[in-house]
Amino acid sequence: MILCSRRRWLLCAALSAGLPVTAWSDAYPSKPIRMVVPYAPGGATDMVARLVSQKLSEALKQPVVVENRPGANGIIGTDAVARAAPDGYTILLNTAGAQTLSPVLYKAGYDPLKSFAPVSLISSIGFVMVVHPSVPAKTVQEFVALARSKSRPLSLSAGSSMIELIGETFKATAGTPDMVSVSYRGTGPQMQAVVAGEVDMTIDPFNGMAMIRAGRLRPLAVLSPKRSPALPEVPTMQEAGIQGLNFNSWAGLLAPAGTPKEIVERLNQEIVRIVAEPEIKARLAAIDYEAVGSTPEQFAAVIADDAARWARLVKDTNYKDKTAP
């Protein structure tokens, strides 16, 4: 006799009937899927989740419901998925911050790789340095000169530990240690703080493209090795004279560790197909998110590399998050 929990009744039914696991995976999914996003609604990551969930629902013939579980720099939602049943009905759309940086900074209840079964990358995410239009600086060098002049204190906003760490790295690299870092709850609020003139500058993960186009934010540089197709006239940090300040993030889909390989492969096939669709690629490109599909193994390698890089950077800068949970 096979003893089964309610969460695994479908697998057990297949095994009891003498069917191979592949026959069970062919029946997946048989009920709605929960896609957890460990960030607040309205941000760019949430937008990606809703784009992907709609397409994934159409492909799997079951509702894929986005559930926002923000808090503690992404730890709350990420940990919830790590502890969920590995049955393919709870999945995680995460970014590099919660997945690879938060476990370095805090006592998270999950391991970036061991607690999850990576499914696929969805997109790469760029960063852009923006200032309020009232700031009398049209270039990064002018902004640095203004900060060094101490004619008035300059400030930068940070809505996540990753943005704050990048901001601290900018201050150290540019030689502007007196800039004041102001913490906000989320990258949306950090961008709105600049729009409102509460702070002078932020490092934005392209949440503020509409504000840039409307002239309510002034972009000074992108933090990628090459210029952004979304902002082709904006120089890179290297072109602006600041060396070694190359950062990017990503969005990707994961499942709890132990999720059957057949389910991971099914989800992977659908995600890779979805992100290759011209409509999805165009909508992601509009916010400078480059559509990227990958194998689970390739995604796992990215997670491992990022975790190691952030660990080194935190150690080298002796960084301590002022908004630690």
Q: Which of 222, 238, 257 is the last residue of a domain?
A: 222
- What is the total count of domains within the chain? 2
Whole-angstrom Cα distance, residue 178 to residue 175?
9
Residues 48 and 100 in one domain: yes
The domain boundary, picked from 204, 222, 240, lies at 222
pLDDT band at 321 (very low <50, low <70, confident <90, very high): low
Asked if residue 148 is part of any domain, the answer here is: yes
Band of residue 14 on the pLDDT scale cut at 50, 70, 90:
very low
Instruction: Give pLDDT tens digits for 131-157.
Output: 999 999 999 999 999 999 988 899 999
Residue 107 counted as domain residue: yes
What would the pLDDT profile of 63-81 be if each residue is shown by its tens digit? 999 999 988 889 999 999 9
DSSP secondary structure letter of residue 236: B
- Tens digits of residue pLDDT in 175-226: 999 999 998 877 888 999 999 999 999 998 877 888 999 999 999 999 988 8
Whether residue 152 is contained in a domain is answered as: yes
Is 5 a domain residue? no
Do 117 and 262 lie in one domain? The reply is yes
> How many whole angstroms from its chain centre is CA 309?
16
Domain assignment of residue 231, yes or no: no
Both 106 and 133 in one domain: the answer is no
pLDDT band at 263, cuts 50/70/90?
A: very high
Binned at pLDDT 50, 70 and 90, residue 313 comes out as confident
Examine residue 237 and state whether it is found in any structural domain, yes or no: no
Nearest to 117 by CA among 264, 301, 278: 264
Give residue-wise pLDDT tens across range 30-60. 999 999 999 888 777 888 999 999 999 999 9
Looking at the domain assignment, is residue 269 inside a domain? yes
Report d(CA 181, CA 192) in Å as an integer.
Answer: 15
Do 274 and 141 fall into the same domain? no
**Do 116 and 198 have their domain in common?**
no
State the chain's mean pLDDT as an integer.
88
Same domain assignment for residues 287 and 149: no
Q: In this predicted model, which residue has the larger pLDDT, 23 or 278? A: 278
Check whether residue 98 and residue 154 sit in a common domain.
no
Is residue 134 domain-shared with residue 109, that is, in the same domain? no
- Domain of 209, CATH number, reads 3.40.190.10
> Are 103 and 117 in the same domain?
yes
Domain hosting 34: range is 30-124+248-317
Distance CA 143, CA 184 (A): 22
Residue 292 belongs to a domain with what CATH number? Answer: 3.40.190.150
pTM over 0.85: no
Instruction: Please give the Cα distance from 143 to 231 (Å, whole number).
Output: 19
- Please tell me the predicted confidence (pLDDT) of residue 118: 98
Q: Are residues 263 and 209 in the same domain?
A: no
In a domain, 157, yes or no: yes
- Both 136 and 217 in one domain: the answer is yes
The one-letter amino acid at 318: N
- pLDDT score, position 26: 61
Kindly state whether residues 72 and 117 are assigned to the same domain. Answer: yes
